[in-house]
């Protein structure tokens, strides 16, 4: 059974309470919006690429705690990384959240981000954790917007009922 | 079913312990805690007599209906039509042929949109809906409006979540051709004053469809008293199976409507030159229906009727009143939907905590609530929230479960303190 107590760890609650790098970024040269129609979560991820390196990054928006903490920790982890290094983190985070990467036994670069490993047991919350990373990917590739419901999204799942 | 009459009780005095014993799923443990199922507005649970009925049908009575002359086909047909008769009695329809089996409320509304709307609503015509509607009573009409060049007019709501009936009346004009109206709001629980609204529309020659998805499980529905033209609900919200529901329509309306789906069973004769459609209700029931589900829904109606809809309503109202009072005592928690007349739904938001975090943490305590926009985004926009948490009650819920919910909410506050 899902262990949500393990998910709502102090580090996640702390980043939710006091999100890092929260706000607008005046000199951003890459920007994307992400939204999750299921929760109504929406975030904007803005960054400044200096040559190939993330010189500055910020996010803002309305979201659940999992999404906001994920976005906050994303910014602290991605700042200073090259575009390729950031893409590796995006892929590894997504694989961890969807259960494809076992961070206990397989090599990875996620560091503290492994606190989000617990979402793999909560299918409805996986999207919340991944949304900032999809949005970062969109921003790096200047795709403009990301959605947890896009056709290409491996996490796509129908949502319905009353 | 033999034990059922003992559960009949005076209003407000349900033998809930004995009722709960009929629902095997209520014994489940979730996250190591007893399941507290408060997501009944999304789907209710199924009692053993209904489960038994489904099994008995499959084991002893199954064949296709309205076709064979053999024993099983005649048995299945008789049981299927008996279920229709039960539904007709449940909503007090004049005639059984006014009851059409559909896959649920959504299909019922789509049937009316295609069968009535596409035939009788044209360019420049107006359809009145309300802010409280579920997406299933919005989107089909938007599709029709787009196709025909018709216009949607929307009845606003008050801060309490009540329809502004004065504004509703002002929306009528000579182009008004249809009204789609929820009997009970799924997101807020508001019981709408539909009878008067229907009379007002009828005085102007405008037919009215009631979305009864959230009303039929909780209230006595009398379509003759309401005088609605159409009434739709889903079986799985009243202890029946998924994939089955019904549309009630006044015979005169159904007769003049065009078919929704083409196929077998909905025809009298077919040649490549001309097809003659079957009479109602069969005109609207193309193809093999979910026979087992229909018969199961009939058994669910028997089960509810044995307990008594008035007793069910009284118990659920007690639960709602108690839950409202308890939640109102919690600082930082706000109930959305404070209408004078409500049914079985408690929608709330918490300061500083997103509903999805509320739902995940309540699940840790074994409590199932719905979190999200409840397929009613206009309601969310009206209250300027992205989503709410919604506890919705059924007659098998207890005061102790309300206490568990309140304790669960306190626990969420502790985690996010």
d(CA B344, CA B268): 44
| Residues on chain A touching B387 (C-beta within 8 angstroms) | 39-40
Instruction: Output the CA–CA distances (angstroms, integers) from residue A35 to A60, A91, A118, A149, B284, in the order listed.
Output: 12, 19, 22, 9, 40
- Looking at residue B240, its pLDDT comes to 98
Q: Report the residue from B43, B134, B357 with minimal CB separation from A66.
A: B357
Find the CATH number of the domain harbouring A34.
3.90.1010.10
Mean pLDDT for each 10-residue chunk of chain B (417 residues)?
Answer: 44 84 97 96 98 98 91 96 98 98 98 98 98 97 98 98 98 98 97 98 98 98 98 98 98 97 88 91 95 98 97 97 98 97 97 94 96 90 92 98 98 94
Distance CA A127, CA A67 (A): 8
Alpha helices of B329-386 — where are they, by DSSP H? 355-364, 377-382
Q: B237, A162: Cβ pair inside 8 Å?
A: yes
Whole-structure pTM value: 0.91
User: How many domains would you assign to chain A?
Assistant: 1
Catalytic positions of B, please? Answer: 375
Closest-approach residue (CA) in chain B for A42:
B386
Residue B97: which residues within 8 A CB-CB, separation 6 or more?
A: B251, B254, B279, B280, B281
Tally Cβ neighbours within 10 Å of residue B318. Answer: 16
Contact between chains at B41 and A162 (C-beta distance less than 8 A): yes
The pair of structure tokens assigned to B218 is 């909780």
The residue to which tokens 């008789």 are assigned: B78
The size of the A-B interface in CB pairs under 8 A is 66
Q: Is residue A99 part of a domain?
A: yes
In terms of DSSP H, where are the helices of B194-342?
A: 194-203, 223-226, 251-256, 291-307, 309-328
pLDDT digits (tens, 9 = 90+) for A25-56: 999 999 999 998 777 789 999 999 999 999 99
B376 CA to chain A: closest CA distance, Å?
8
Signed CA dihedral, B409, B364, A12, B374: sign only: negative
Structure tokens at A38: 């299921």
Q: Where are the alpha helices (DSSP H) in B227-308?
A: 251-256, 291-307
Edge-to-edge strand list for the sheet holding A30-36: A53-62, A41-50, A30-36, A145-147
What does the pLDDT average to over A114-119?
Answer: 93
User: Is A162 part of a structural domain of the chain?
Assistant: no
pLDDT of residue A153: 44
What pLDDT shows up at residue A123?
Answer: 86
Evaluate whether residue A152 is within a structural domain. no
Nearest-5° Cα angle at B193, B158 to B151: 70
Q: What is the pLDDT of residue A162?
A: 34
Measured in angstroms, the CA of B107 and the nearest CA of chain A are apart by: 13
The tokens describing B143, both together, are: 């599709």
A128 interaction partners in chain B (CB closer than 8 Å) = 356
| Domain limits for position A27 | 4-147
Which residues on B lie below 8 Å from A41 (Cβ)? Answer: 354, 386
Q: pLDDT value at position B389? A: 96
**Interface-testing mutation among B360, B362, B374, B380, with chain A (most A C-beta atoms within 10 A):** B360
Give the minimum alpha-carbon distance from B184 to chain A in angstroms, rounded to a whole number: 12
Predicted pLDDT of residue A148: 62
In a domain, A160, yes or no: no
- Check if B214 contacts A (Cβ < 8 Å): yes
The pLDDT, as a whole number, for residue A5 is 56
Note the pLDDT of residue A38: 74
Q: Distance between CA B379 and CA B343 in Å, rounded? A: 17
pLDDT digits (tens, 9 = 90+) for A128-151: 999 999 999 999 997 556 666 544
Determine, yes or no, domain membership for A153.
no
Interface of B with A in 110-169 (CB under 8 A): 134
Interchain CB distance below 8 Å, B356 and A62: no
Specify if A92 maps to a domain: yes
Asked casually if ipTM beats, i.e. exceeds, 0.85, the reply is no
Q: Is the dihedral of CA B134, B137, B141, B143 positive or negative?
A: positive
CA–CA distance, B147 with B127 (Å, rounded to integer): 13
Q: How far is B22 from chain A (nearest CA, A)?
A: 25
What pLDDT is attached to residue B204? 98
Is residue A17 in a domain?
yes
pLDDT bin (cut points 50, 70, 90) of residue A155 is very low
Q: What Rg value do the Cα atoms of chain B yield, rounded?
A: 22
pLDDT reported for residue B5:
43
- Is A103 domain-assigned? yes
The rounded mean pLDDT for chain A is 86
């Amino acid at each position: 059974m899902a262990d949500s107590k393990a998910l709502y760890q102090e580090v996640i609650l702390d980043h939710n309470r006091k999100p890092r790098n929260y706000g607008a970024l005046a000199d951003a040269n890459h920007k994307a919006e992400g939204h999750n129609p299921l929760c109504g979560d929406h975030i904007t991820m803005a960054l400044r690429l200096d040559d190939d390196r993330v010189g500055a990054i910020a996010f803002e928006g309305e979201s659940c705690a999992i999404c906001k903490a994920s976005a906050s920790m994303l910014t602290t982890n991605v700042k200073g990384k090259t575009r390729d290094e950031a893409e590796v983190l995006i892929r590894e985070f997504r694989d961890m959240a969807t259960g494809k990467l076992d961070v206990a036994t397989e090599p990875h670069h996620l560091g503290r981000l492994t606190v989000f490993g617990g979402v793999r047991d909560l299918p409805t919350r996986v999207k919340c954790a991944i949304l900032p990373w999809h949005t970062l990917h969109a921003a790096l590739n200047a795709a403009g917007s990301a959605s947890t419901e896009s056709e290409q999204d491996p996490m796509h799942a129908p949502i319905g009922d009353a | 079913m033999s034990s059922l009459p003992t559960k009949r009780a005076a209003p407000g005095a349900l033998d809930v312990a004995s009722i709960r014993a009929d629902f095997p799923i209520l014994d489940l443990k979730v996250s190591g805690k007893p399941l507290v199922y408060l997501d009944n507005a999304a789907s209710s649970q199924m009692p053993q007599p209904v489960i038994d009925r489904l099994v008995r049908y499959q084991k002893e009575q199954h064949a296709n209906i309205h076709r064979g002359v053999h024993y099983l086909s005649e048995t299945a047909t008789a049981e299927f039509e008996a279920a229709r008769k039960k539904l007709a009695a449940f909503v007090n329809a004049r005639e059984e042929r006014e009851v059409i089996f559909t896959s649920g409320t959504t299909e019922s509304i789509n049937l009316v949109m295609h069968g009535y709307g596409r035939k009788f609503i044209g360019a420049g015509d107006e359809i009145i809906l309300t802010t409280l509607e579920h997406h299933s009573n919005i989107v089909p009409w938007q599709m029709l409006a787009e196709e025909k060049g018709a216009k949607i007019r929307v009845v606003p709501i008050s801060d309490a979540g009540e329809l502004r009936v004065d504004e509703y009346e002002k929306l009528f004009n000579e182009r008004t051709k249809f009204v789609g109206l929820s009997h009970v709001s799924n997101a807020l629980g508001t019981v709408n004053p539909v009878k008067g609204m229907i009379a007002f529309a009828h005085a102007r020659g405008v037919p009215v469809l009631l979305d009864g998805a959230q009303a039929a499980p909780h209230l006595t529905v009398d379509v003759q008293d309401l005088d609605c033209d159409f009434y739709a609900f889903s079986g799985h919200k009243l202890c029946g199976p998924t994939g089955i529901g019904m549309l009630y329509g006044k015979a005169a309306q159904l007769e003049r409507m065009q078919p929704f789906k083409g196929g077998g069973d909905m025809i009298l004769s077919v040649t490549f030159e001309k097809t003659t459609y079957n009479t109602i209700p069969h005109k609207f029931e193309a193809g093999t229906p979910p026979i087992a589900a229909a018969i199961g829904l009939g058994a669910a109606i028997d089960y509810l009727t044995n307990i008594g809809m008035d007793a069910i309503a009284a118990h659920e109202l007690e639960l709602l009143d108690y839950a409202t009072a308890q939640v109102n005592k919690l600082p930082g928690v706000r109930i959305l939907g404070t209408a004078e007349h409500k049914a079985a739904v408690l929608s709330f938001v918490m300061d500083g905590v997103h509903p999805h975090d509320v739902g995940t943490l309540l699940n840790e305590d074994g409590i199932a609530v719905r979190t999200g926009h409840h397929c009613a985004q206009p309601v969310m926009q009206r209250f300027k929230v992205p989503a709410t948490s919604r506890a919705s009650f059924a007659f098998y819920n207890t005061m102790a479960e309300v206490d568990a919910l309140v304790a669960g909410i306190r626990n969420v506050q502790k985690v996010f303190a």
